[in-house]
Amino acid sequence: MEYNLKVKLIHEEARLPYRANAGDAGLDLFSVEEKIIKSGESALIATGIQMELPEGTEAQVRPRSGLALKHSITVLNSPGTIDEGYRGEVKVILINHGKEDFRVEKQMRIAQMVIAPVLLVNLVETESLSDSVRDKGGFGSSGK
């Protein structure tokens, strides 16, 4: 099944999200800003795009592993959630966990976005839940 992702470029240096290889889950997001993120600090980076997601989907904003490995740059609120109805500019909250300051360049691929299906459930308040094998076990209950 094919879906269309409508993207509006709202900055002269904005670029469409980029799929580096056919079949890649992640669509890379580009910065339209130049900004230095000091060691230990975070910054909100503009991408210059607005989107219309397919019905029943969200976009998850995730780190790029190369930036994480080489520069300790990651997405602070990973995975960031882009709601289907959001029409504002997509922005990325980067955090610099490294010892060195990091320079975000214009047109740098700063993060990636994965479009995922969403179950829009009805909320049903109840007094009783069905039995399960796990029951209330969690947080290491199954051992190492």
Ligand X SMILES: O=c1ccn([C@H]2C[C@H](O)[C@@H](COP(=O)(O)OP(=O)(O)OP(=O)(O)O)O2)c(=O)[nH]1
CB neighbour list of residue 120: distance below 8 Å, 6 or more residues apart: 56
> Helical H runs in 11-101?
65-71
Was 64 annotated as part of a binding site?
yes
Q: What minimum distance in Å lies between the beta carbon of 90 and ligand X?
A: 5
The CB-side HSE value for 84 (13 A sphere, CA atoms) comes to 10
Was 143 annotated as part of a binding site?
no
Q: What minimum distance in Å lies between the beta carbon of 1 and ligand X?
A: 24
Was 128 annotated as part of a binding site?
no
Q: What minimum distance in Å lies between the beta carbon of 80 and ligand X?
A: 2
Give 92 or 95: the residue with its C-beta nearer to ligand X: 92
Structure tokens at 100: 């060195």
3-state secondary structure of 11: coil
Give 44 or 100: the residue with its C-beta nearer to ligand X: 44
3-state secondary structure of 124: coil
Q: Which residues bind ligand X (CB under 6 A)?
A: 61, 77, 80-83, 86, 90-93
Q: How far apart are CA 33 and CA 8, in angstroms?
A: 17
Give 53 or 102: the residue with its C-beta nearer to ligand X: 53
Give 88 or 143: the residue with its C-beta nearer to ligand X: 88
Structure tokens at 5: 């992702």
Known binding-site residue numbers: 64-66, 77, 81-83
Known binding-site residue numbers for substrate: 64-66, 77, 81-83
